Amino acid sequence: MELSFQNLGTVAGHIQGGRLRPIVVTSAERHPVLPDVPTASEAGLKDFVVTSWQALMAPPGMPAPLVRRLHTVATEALRHPEGRQRLEQVGFTVEAGSPEAYAAFQREEVERWRGVVRTAGIKAE
């Protein structure tokens, strides 16, 4: 048996074309693109929630007015009905939150995965 974890945006077309069979989604909730596929938690993997994310980032010290402008333009693009619909069709969930909310999320992700590495005893080779 072959098994792989993939980003839904990468494999949605293969699933829809019948070339891949989804077993679970690793989000906290069932995904609208795959409403009949259970979450990992529903399938018995308690607290198994893993999501992928993409972000627009800038160098530290970028002037605040420029950060606000870039955020405004990016948010408008992500929230444009046609673009948003296309992203959602291929499996993405559009968040388009604030820079501060993203920074907090990123800190939480780093701590979460740092804990996984520590607990599992993973070492770089």
Summarised one tens digit per residue, pLDDT across range 2-61 is 888 998 888 888 998 999 999 999 999 999 889 999 999 999 998 899 988 888 889 999
Residues 89, 90, 92, 96, Cα dihedral to 10°: -60
**Residue 1 pLDDT > 80:** no
In the structure encoding, which two tokens stand for residue 16, read together?
A: 């829809």
Summarised one tens digit per residue, pLDDT across range 66-89 is 999 999 999 999 999 999 998 888
Fold entry, domain 1-51 = D-Maltodextrin-Binding Protein; domain 2 (3.40.190)
Sketch the domain layout of the chain as residue ranges: 1-51, 53-125
Place of tokens 């800190």: 107
Gyration radius of the chain over CA positions: 17
